[in-house]
Amino acid sequence: MPSATPISHAARERLREHKAAAAKAVAAHAASLSRLDAATSRRAEIVARQDALVADAVTEVAGAVAEAARVMGIDVAATVLGLSKAEVRRMSKVAEAQ
C-alpha cells in the first residue's frame, strides 16, 4: 500500500512550505476578523450615541411643537409650523409623555 507521507525530499519540502503558507493565511484571516470585530464594535458605539442625540432632538422638537400648540392653538400652530393638525396632536402627546 502506498504511504500518505511524501517519498522524495523535494515533495516533503513542498509540503512544509504549503503548511507554512496555510498557517500564514489562517493567521492573516484571524487578524482580519479581529480588526473587523473591533471596527464593528466602535461603529455600534458611535451609532448608539448618534441615536441618543436624534432621540433627544425629536423630544425637543415635540416639546417645541407642543408649546406652540399650547400658546397658539392646534389650528394656528399647524399652519405656522407647516404641519398637519394630526402631527401637532401627535407631537403634543409625545411631549406630554416625556
Residue 3 counted as domain residue:
no
94 vs 37, residue with greater confidence: 37
User: Measuring CA to CA, how many Å separate 28 from each of 9, 34, 36, 41?
Assistant: 29, 10, 12, 20
Domain contains 85: yes
Between residues 46 and 98, the one the model is more confident about:
46
Whether 41 is covered by a domain: the verdict is: yes
pTM of the model: 0.65
| Amino acid (one-letter) located at 94 | V
For residue 58, being part of any structural domain is answered with yes
Residue 52 sits at φ, ψ, to 5 deg, of -65, -40
pLDDT 10s digits, 19-70? 999 999 999 999 999 999 999 999 999 999 999 999 999 999 999 999 999 9
- Its domain, for residue 21, covers 9-97
| Distance spanning both ends of the chain, measured CA to CA | 81
* Residue 48 resides in a domain: yes
Distance of alpha carbon 85 from the chain centroid: 34
Q: Is residue 1 assigned to a domain?
A: no
Q: What total number of domains does the chain contain?
A: 1
